[in-house]
Structure 1
Amino acid sequence: MEQTWRWFGPRDNVTLSDARQAGATGIVTALHDLPPGQVWPVSAIQDRQREVQAAGLRWSVVESVNVSEDIKKRTTRWQQHIDAYCDTLRNLATCGIQTVCYNFMPVLDWLRTDLEWQLADGAISLRFDAISLAAFDLFILKRPNAAADWTEAQQSAAHQRLQEMSESERDRLIATVLAGLPGTTEIYTLDYVRNAIASYADIGADGLRANLGDFLRAVCPVAQEVGVRLCIHPDDPPRSLLGLPRIANTIEDLEFLLKQTPEPSNGITFCSGSLGARKENNLVDMIQRVASRIYFVHLRSTRYEAGRDAFYEAPHLAGDVDIVALMQQLVKEQRRRIQQGDTIEIPFRSDHGNKILTDIGRPAVPGYPAVGRLKGLAELRGVMTAVEALT
């Protein structure tokens, strides 16, 4: 399996040299300055490739070619953006890039309520707390009909949480929830989010599933033709948020999307952190059921807090996710592919990481510090090496 590292481009304070010293051989990146719906030119792709290659690495995975809101909602510019997406896949294939991650989360990408949660040992983690989100939803965003999504007990607790917050804490919660897509400079406003949420009112989960099916049927034949493997990222957290539908949460969701097209180019990014934040998900069973269509892997672990609807991102081997069991399944699948003549290594990365040591005080994209990810990748490398030797 290929050890990779996410890099957010030239403005990333964590450098390509850091990635190489951490032991990665492949880079996971994107042309973050280009908005969804725009074609990625071959020249721009090649410029980024040369930058990565100059550091002794290779651009292994695109994360992400973002899917526009027009595609997710199937609105007026749907066909225009589909054509642009297909042209981008063709251009990536021309440059020899074969793996493309994407997500279908409406409006907001991953969502946390705290980006600076201090653990007992002094490390800094990302955290999600449902009551804090309820306080934001009910009393800050003031989303119409939000109360229908929260129990009376949650509403009462949310009101109490809001009363306990200082003005600066409220501002920090707003900034955290509205941080936008990682790797971009976009910060959403409350008005933008209210309007964007309202635009999904008549779509719902069934409509979003239908639109995902239309997207896959439009782009997967092109991906198959040019040799690109598409892999959807699960919703993070795997639950409905702010009244928005989320449709990549469970094994049933993943199997549904794989049935939308016959092309093997339609695949999955298996994210143990996202899927593991839903207690009823059996991750080993999920890998076994969709193993042949896993084209990219994010490995991390969350830990639920007792008695609360809250979780934080734990050290990779210290959370609720059994990383060793998942690695056993992934190594098994990699060997099966090699026996079948598939020589592409499954790329995986240490997804997110706690801020530790010199990470603390060093600017980085939330969840993507240097030392914390180096530690995570080293732990995953050790697990993989042991599993390979013992099985």
Structure 2
Amino acid sequence: MTDLETRAIPARSGALRRAAPALLGYAAVRALGLLVLALWSAARDKSAYTLLTARWDSLWYQRVAERGYGYEVRLPNGDVHSDLAFFPLLPWLERLGAAVSPLSHAGAGFVVSLLASLAAAWGIFAVADHVYGRRAGVCAVLLWAVLPVGIVQSMAYSESLFTALAAWSLYAVLTGRWVTAGVLALLSGLTRPVGLAVVAAVWAAGVVSYGRHRSAVDEHGARAAPRALGMILAPLGAAGYVLWVGHRTGKGPLGYLDVQAGWRNGFDGGWAFARFVAEKFTSFPSALAGLGLIAGVALVAWLYAVCVRQRQPLPLLVYAGIVTALALCASSYFGSKPRLLLPAFPLLLPLARALAGLRTSRSALVAAGVAVASAVYGAVWLNGSGPP
């Protein structure tokens, strides 16, 4: 345990009981979202299950699970979409699920996401409870559940799996469990490229901890060796996959960047996104969308500034900052940015603290109203343009 700890760690036997209200609330919100999606899809002669498991990125993950890597699509404009862009942990779990059960790879991916979303909700609660208390923890989970694109948490995508690994890794850092933090960071690095944010959080906390406790044993009796081991383990997942892609493509350590370039993904500091927003002001109807995008970015920036002002623990600030920067400053498909921000749950903690300060009846009413709006939005969105 380290100086990062601010509250006592609940006994293991009582941890689930303590998180139960958050998990039950989360399950209720997600059940509502799935019910509304099923009804909305049925009214349009579409399959909600297909929308959740067999469209967009889900198909790429399933192909990797079924056949391994090596598939690519060459577009008329010369772009090459390679399955090497998709990190392997979710396909591995889909393959395992299909091998040990009667589920298809799509079904296994759906089950993985459902279970991972619950694990993510528990991890978010654990982090928020540890820093701000139980009531804020429950509110943080509910806010994450009712995000406008929260339906993605129930899709056969990697967002829920990644958020679960990231949240529990951050909790392990906050409670001084360095080896656990490193292993979970390693796994997050096998899930999504933004796993680097988890690695950076572990390293930032480790470096600060070393600076404050130069002796072999810190004030809590934790030896320096586990901390060093956790820091060594953390980057191995992301580094291992990136190096493997470079070897497979024959383009060296930076081969993965070429794969992403084939999808027109890259980091340009937000220039492409800024141009995209500016183009919205060429006509009146689209100008409203442009104003909405500017307001959304301003809200995200304001929330991060509040996180800094409220002196969130360093690992949370590092993690949320990198996730946010990669989401907003990448040149990828702009409609995916809200989905890419899903793992940045520390941004919700200021709102969770504010919601926790309300009367229980009032906060429950607010959460219920937003949950209904989120469920309707998710159903309309997934039946429309949906997440790329």
- TM-score bracket, normalised by the shorter chain, equals under 0.3
Q: What TM-score comes out, normalization by structure 2 length?
A: 0.27
**RCO greater where, 1 or 2, for CA within 8 Å and sep 6 or more?**
2
Bigger fraction of residues in helix: 2
Bigger fraction of residues in strand: 1
